Amino acid sequence: MFTRMMEIVSKRPILGAIALGAVTACVTSVVAMLAIYVFQHILPQRLWGQSAAADVFNQPAVAVFFDAVIFFPLLETIIGQVIPIEIARRFGINPWLCVFISAAVFGGGHYLNGGPLHGLVTFSVGIVLAALYVVLRRNGPASSFVGVATAHILHNALLLYVLTALFPSLA
């Protein structure tokens, strides 16, 4: 299936990147849920930090959607994947080490915003997003950005509107 998906991406890079990003959003949502479960059992509760979504829901619904589902995923994709991976590539760093560097930047930024639990969970999700960027990079940076941004946007939408409805303790 992956080979078939990569054939589609190489023939239609942007459309393929969007499709692969949508599939990846489902994967990152599962990764996030598993990471939350695991890290809540490893870290003492006093080290969890605040819920990343706590401040988000204190805004009007339109602002929540724009900030959490559109604006921040686009900005974070540039800061967390595009910049670290493109800089590391210019230095000739192995692509899979680029994934780790990107995930560390992505998780580190979220750690500063939400504490250790949020940082570790987003580091885990960041590995998947950075791997998607690296896989799509053979078709150029535009399709890489589009694929990862799509995954990030849909991931946030799934977490904010679907998973928090199913699991209210996440909100």
Query: What tens digit of pLDDT does each residue of 46-95 get?
Result: 888 876 666 666 788 898 899 999 999 999 999 999 999 999 999 999 99
Q: Which of 143, 145, 166 is nearest to 10 (CA)?
A: 143
Average pLDDT over residues 103-111: 96
Q: Could you report the per-residue pLDDT of 6-46, keeping only the tens digit for each?
A: 777 778 899 999 999 999 999 999 999 999 999 999 999 98
CA distance 171 to 160: 8
Tokens 């490893």 sit on residue = 42
Residue 127 in this model has a pLDDT that exceeds 90:
yes
Cα 55-59-61 angle, rounded to 5 deg:
125
E strands present in the chain: none
Look at residue 140 and tell me whether its pLDDT is greater than 80: yes
Q: Give the Cα separation of 152 and 158 in Å (integer).
A: 10
Q: Using pLDDT thresholds of 50, 70 and 90, give the confidence band for residue 166.
A: confident
What is the Rg, in whole angstroms, of the alpha carbon atoms belonging to the chain? 16
Reduced to 3 DSSP states, what percent helix, strand and coil does the chain have, rounded to the nearest 5? 85, 0, 15
Q: 58-62, 106-110, 139-143, 156-160: which range is least confident on average?
A: 58-62
Q: How far apart are CA 143 and CA 14, in angstroms?
A: 5
Two tokens, residue 101: 């560097």
- First-to-final CA distance of the chain: 35
Predicted TM-score of the model (pTM): 0.91
pLDDT in the model for residue 97: 97
What integer pLDDT is reported at residue 169 of this predicted model?
66
Q: Is 62 exposed, middle or buried (0-12, 13-18, 19+ CB in 10 A)?
A: exposed
Q: What is the pLDDT of residue 54?
A: 65
Site of tokens 């999700």:
125
Question: Greater confidence, 163 or 2?
Answer: 163
Q: Band of the pLDDT at 105, cuts 50, 70, 90?
A: very high
What's the confidence (pLDDT) of residue 64?
Answer: 87
